[in-house]
Structure 1
Amino acid sequence: MSGTADGTAHGTGRETVAVVVVTHDRADLLSGMLDGLAAQTRAPDTVIVVDNASSDHTPDVLGARTDLPLQVITQANLGGAGGFHRGVQAAYDGGHDRIWLMDDDVVPAPDCLERLVAVDEDCLIAVREDLSGALVEKAAVEFDLRNPLSIHPKRSTVDGVYRDRASMPALVEVQNVAFEGFMVRRDVVTDIGFPDPTFFIFYDDAEYAVRARRAGRRVWAVRDAVLVRQLDFNQQHDLSGWKGFYMYRNLFVVHLRHGENALVRLKPWLITLAVVLLSPARGGRAEARNVIRAMASARGMRRLPDPAQPPR
């Protein structure tokens, strides 16, 4: 589906928007995020909250929201990836024109949705700032899957290129996304499928953006669509712990699936070797065990799994 600059499908009517929120044990943050959705100048048509088996008072928070067109999906804790997969599938099955993905620790400015739907592009992101108003948008301006010498494909970010929101042009093309304020049109899902639930956490959003760009879509950061992060970024995780396994494995999967040449697809093996060889100097064998397990698992994930394939 293509739209028009005033946010109408083919000029025939108002595009519908489904918001997909994934949450787990962060009821108070979720409440603030839902307050932000309820205050939108352009109201969402439905808000799908995927609750990944919260054990706090999340059900009470959701049960009290009579001010939003809420649809609650409760499931086992399948991670952010499993939650967004389920939510996007529900929004797609509901026939919505645009799907707006949201984490539970961000709050959209009142005109955020209005600003997004005014842009006639298939893939958009709202631009994040922190509680002080500082620009903290980590979407990559360059996500390099061509250079085998680049350890990490994210080469530059929006907040690394622009000192503040005011210095940005109205639209900035980006090459990866976070599922915090990412908006996608229905026909993109029809073409490329759903977020990959097997990732559990990390890189599911980056992998989805790669698929969209490979299908000919461009992804745009909308300067005036403001999303406020309630927590500081914490991108330094224990690589010897359980999160480290997913960080390594899913990074490897992105390279194995989407590397643009044989050397890039070889890079996960080289990283694995380097981590194993350096493990005595890095403080132990746990990270080496993690990276070996991650490489073994990634080899079996080179093909997009059936649940993530385009709908039939």
Structure 2
Amino acid sequence: MSVAQGVAVVVVTYNRADLLVGMLDGLAAQTRPADAIIVIDNASTDHTRKVLDARTDLPLVITTTEDNLGGAGGFHLGMLQAYEAGHDRILLMDDDVVPAPDFLAVMTAHDGPCQMAVREDRQGRLVEKAAIRFDLDNPLAIKPKTASVDSTYADRASLPVEVPVEAVAFEGFMVRREVITAIGLPDPSFFIFYDDVDFALRAQQAGFGIVCLRDAVLVRQLDFDQQHALDTWKGFYMYRNLFVVHFRYGSNVLVRLKPWLIVLMVVLLSPLRGGRREAANVIKAIRSARHMRALSPAASPAALLRHR
């Protein structure tokens, strides 16, 4: 298959039609337009389809799934479609960010294998959570993200032009085709959370560096509040997928045992914080994570052989 030199943008959306409008407006205003915009509509039940059908000004390729695949399944499917179409660069975006007009121009001007945007909120404050250090060596680092872009730098002006990072979000992340060929696709079994971290860790293990680009501006429309959802259904996925990352990529046995320590701590402290629902989530999470130590076959490079 011949490889196109253009850029495909993959957008995953679910029941956020009004936010999607702003994101699509941002793509329409790019000084360097996308060559294709692959939208994975995760079985939305709002007016998402109406919003998409109205965008005849954009090169949309729309897939509406029968079931909600989650962010991980959506990005897996969208990246596969972009790969099958022969695109050389693939940019992953959520439906709740708005790119600055020169966003794609800045991203495509960089020759590296993997680039991450630098996000800000609607007030212009730096909110880029990409991990400068994601510590899977120290068993005492309960939270492996020990330094992020926004915890290290006060504002965008303080950033160097490029900031090397170890973990990313699929919210303004661009990857070259050669990386996908080498490491495969996002793992759909994560459903939501940590599929982006897993992909970034695999890329680095294969020798591909990742940098945040100071001048690639994405404006995030929603606040980060997932840390308050550990006793909800989201908490199950946050715990489970964090455990999976430790099982897969922990550099020593103590790090790979750390999920069990986290379970013990959460259960013991549940009368004081979190309660029974969080304790139930973490127990369910460790049981499920034990069966996800290996990469899903659908995400492996071997799954791409027929698409090369």
Interval of TM-score (by shorter of Structure 1 and Structure 2): over 0.9
The answer to whether residue 226 in structure 2 is matched with residue 230 in structure 1 is no
Matching residue within 59, 63, 68 for 2:58: 68
Matches within 5 A, 1:244-263: 244-263=235-254
Using the size of structure 1 for normalisation, the TM-score is 0.94
How many equivalent pairs are there?
Answer: 301
2:121 match: 130
1:262-273 map, 5 Å? 262-273=253-264
Cα offset for 1:240?
A: 2.0
2:21 to 17, 27, 31: 31
- Indicate conservation of the 8 Å contact 1:126/1:222, yes or no: yes
2:44 is matched with 54
Instruction: Mark the runs of 5 or more structure 1 residues left unpaired by the alignment.
Output: 1-12
Residue number in structure 1 paired with 2:176: 185
> What displacement does 1:14 show?
7.8
Residues 91/157 of structure 1: CA separation in 2 closer, same or farther (3 Å cut): same
- The amino acid of 2:232's aligned partner reads G
Displacement of 1:283 in angstroms is 5.4
Give 3-state SS (helix, strand or coil) of 1:224's partner: strand
- 1:115-142 CA-partner distances (Å, limit 9, x unpaired): 0110110000111011111111111110
1:44 aligned onto 2:29: no
Q: Percent identity?
A: 67
Task: Give me the whole-angstrom Cα distance separating, in 2, the residues matched to 1:88 and 1:172.
Answer: 25
The answer to whether structure 1 residue 108 and structure 2 residue 74 are counterparts is no
CA distance in 2, matches of 1:299, 1:308: 18
Distance 1:111 1:170 in 2: 15
Q: Kindly provide the CA deviation profile for residues 129-180 of structure 1, in whole angstroms up to 9, marking residues without a partner as x.
A: 1111111111111010000000111001111111111111111101110011
The residue that corresponds to 1:79 in the other structure is 70
Do residues 299 (structure 1) and 282 (structure 2) align?
no
What are the equivalent positions in structure 2 for 1:195-234 lying under 5 Å apart? 195-234=186-225
Distance in 2, Cα, partners of 1:279 & 1:125: 37
RMSD, matched Cα: 1.4
Once residues 252 and 70 of structure 1 are traced to their aligned partners in structure 2, the CA distance between those partners, rounded to angstroms, is: 36
- Which residue does 1:15 correspond to in 2? 5
Q: Secondary structure at the match of 2:271?
A: helix
| C-alpha distance in structure 1 between counterparts of 2:197 and 2:274, whole Å | 30
Contact 2:4 2:87 in 1 (8 A): no
**Which moves more between the two structures, 281-290 or 152-161?**
281-290
| Residues 1:276 and 2:267 are matched in the alignment | yes
AA aligned to 2:70 is G
TM-aligned CA deviation for residue 281 of structure 1: 2.7
Offset, 1:207:
1.0
Q: What is the SS of the residue equivalent to 2:267? A: helix
Q: CA deviation at 1:273?
A: 1.6
Q: What is the CA distance between 1:275 and its match in structure 2? A: 1.5
Q: Following TM superposition, by how much is the alpha carbon of 1:38 offset from its aligned partner in structure 2, in angstroms?
A: 0.8
Instruction: For 1:224, give the aligned amino acid.
Output: D
2:210 and 2:93 mapped to 1: Cα distance? 17
Q: Tell me how far 1:186 sits from its aligned partner.
A: 0.3
Deviates more, 1:233-242 or 1:27-36: 233-242
Does the Cα contact within 8 Å between 1:237 and 1:243 map onto a contact in 2? no
CA distance in 1, matches of 2:270, 2:18: 40
* Letter of the structure 2 residue corresponding to residue 234 of structure 1: D
**Equivalent residue in structure 1 for 2:108, among 111, 117, 127:** 117
Determine the C-alpha separation between the residues in 1 that align with 2:192 and 2:165.
21
Q: Which amino acid aligns with 2:282?
A: V
Does the 8 A contact of 1:192 with 1:309 survive in 2? yes
